[in-house]
Amino acid sequence: MASLAPFLPANAHALVVGGTAGIGAAIAHKLALALPPTSTITLSGRNAAAAQRIIDAVRDEIATGGDPTKSGATMNFAAVDCGKMSDVKRFCKDYRRDVLQEPTHKLDLLVLTPGILAMDGRQPAAPGSSLDLKMSLHYYARMLIIRELLSCLADNATVLSVLDGKRSDARAHGIKWDDMDLSHPGNYGVSKAAEHCLTFTDIQLQDFAEQSNKEITHGTLHRSFIHAYPGFVSTEIFNTSRLPWYARFGAKGLSTVLAVSPETCAERLLEGVAECKEKDLAGEASTVAGSPKGLWNIDDKGRILTNKNRADSETMEKVREHTWHAVDSQPTDA
């Protein structure tokens, strides 16, 4: 984990959306222990009490660690409901004003982990919303956050979206291009929703990397956009009531044998992020054909993946137009 610290300034600002549980919480915890008190980590989600428990745990670990030179990063909480596009926009506006005190500070690290595990059908992300809840958490809200905070990213900032950067494919054959939000009867399914979110994440991160790094002229500095695969991680997500009892039972049994802890997952992913950042700062582009500078996929061991497909400009435009129309057409209270 310490290998990431050299790529962040002493007064770094990091935002972990979905940081109150699971992988997001573990990433925030490790970051807080590694960064100095002059840096700021914001945990974002719906559960303020859970965020406070994480903050308290970091403080307790530092206090009992016996190392007087370590005091840890400054931590705070900011509430957001990623099922509501209007609240995501409100959150980003407040974060820029209250935490970054724009233009005083820049955002150096953005981590996106909100998600849900469910086997039920398509359901509104919020009252009055035309978007599906799972797709909103896994794709639409994440991309909206990047868009809304893009102007305040540091020139060498890193954006990490933890979903499935291993099985994602920008040229997936199963995409329903005439129904990209899967709202038409008979089109929606759990696996189909996942395929759309994974594919669109690769494509939209590619678009962000291309457009964002065109504007940066400071030598080898690049903004890094990384799509990560976490693997099988033992988190409370498997205990959700949205899964039938037999699925919860099976998942719990498998997790005791096959899953890694959130802490192990966080350490591996952060090491992978550091490797991507090192290559970006050294001016090394991905070896994947068609990859712009600053675009990476990593697996659950933090290894850079080189067998990915990239989108052409027409496909990127199609995904971009759909995504922004989808999020911007939602009611102001959804």
Per-residue pLDDT reduced to its tens digit, 233-259: 876 654 555 545 444 444 455 555 557
In this structure, how many other beta carbons lie within 10 angstroms of the beta carbon of residue 333?
Answer: 12
Q: Which two tokens stand for residue 260?
A: 């890694």
SS3 78: strand
List, edge to edge, every strand of the sheet that includes 40-45: 74-79, 40-45, 13-17, 107-112, 153-162, 224-228, 295-298
User: SS3 string of 257-312?
Assistant: HHCECHHHHHHHHHHHHHHHHHHHHCCCCCCCCCCCCCEEEECCCCCECCCCCCCC
pLDDT per position as a tens digit, 48-71: 999 999 999 999 998 887 666 667
Please tell me whether residue 240 adopts helix, strand or coil conformation: coil
CATH (domain of 137): 3.40.50.720
Confidence of residue 333 (pLDDT cuts 50, 70, 90): confident
Cβ density class 134-155: b for 16+ within 10 Å, e for less: bbbbbbbbbbbbbbbbbebbbb
Question: What pLDDT does residue 256 have?
Answer: 54
pLDDT at 215 over 60: yes
Q: Which two tokens stand for residue 143?
A: 């991309």
Strand stretches in the chain, DSSP E: 13-17, 40-45, 74-79, 107-112, 153-162, 224-228, 295-298
pLDDT at 227 over 70: yes
Q: How many helices (H) and strands (E) does the chain have?
A: 9, 7
Do the domain assignments include residue 241? yes
**pLDDT for the residue 234:** 74
Average pLDDT, the chain: 90
The answer to whether residue 332 is domain-embedded is no
Q: Coil, helix or strand for 138?
A: helix
On whether residue 20 sits in a domain, the answer given is yes
Predicted TM-score (pTM) of this structure: 0.91
Classify residue 66: in a domain, yes or no. Answer: yes
| Residue 330 included in any domain | no
Mean pLDDT score, 305-310: 96
Sign of CA dihedral 83, 244, 195, 293: positive
Q: What is the pLDDT of residue 259?
A: 77
Whole-angstrom distance, CA of residue 163 vs CA of residue 300? 10
Q: What integer pLDDT is reported at residue 254 of this predicted model?
A: 52
Q: Domain tally for the chain?
A: 1
- Angle in degrees, 0-180, between the axes of helices 141-149 and 190-214, rounded to the nearest 10: 10
pLDDT exceeds 80 at position 86: yes
pLDDT band at 147 (very low <50, low <70, confident <90, very high): very high
The pLDDT assigned to 246 comes to 44
What's residue 282's pLDDT? Answer: 84
Residue 334 lies in a domain: no
Cβ contacts of 233 within 8 Å, gap of 6 or more: 22, 23, 259, 260, 261, 262, 265
Confidence label for 152 from pLDDT (cuts 50, 70 and 90):
very high
In angstroms, rounded to a whole number, what is the distance separating the alpha carbons of residues 140 and 326? 8
Cα separation of 246 and 9, whole Å? 47
Assess if residue 28 is contained within a domain: yes
| Per-residue model confidence (pLDDT) at position 4 | 85
Say if CB 238 and CB 251 are below 8 A apart.
yes
Q: What is the pLDDT of residues 105-135, one digit of tens each?
A: 999 999 999 988 676 789 999 999 999 999 9
**From CA 148, how far away is CA 328, in angstroms rounded?**
12
> 179 with 187: CB under 8 angstroms?
yes
- Residue 260's domain spans which residues? 2-325
With respect to residue 180, please indicate whether it lies within any of the assigned structural domains: yes
**Can you give the pLDDT at residue 258?**
58
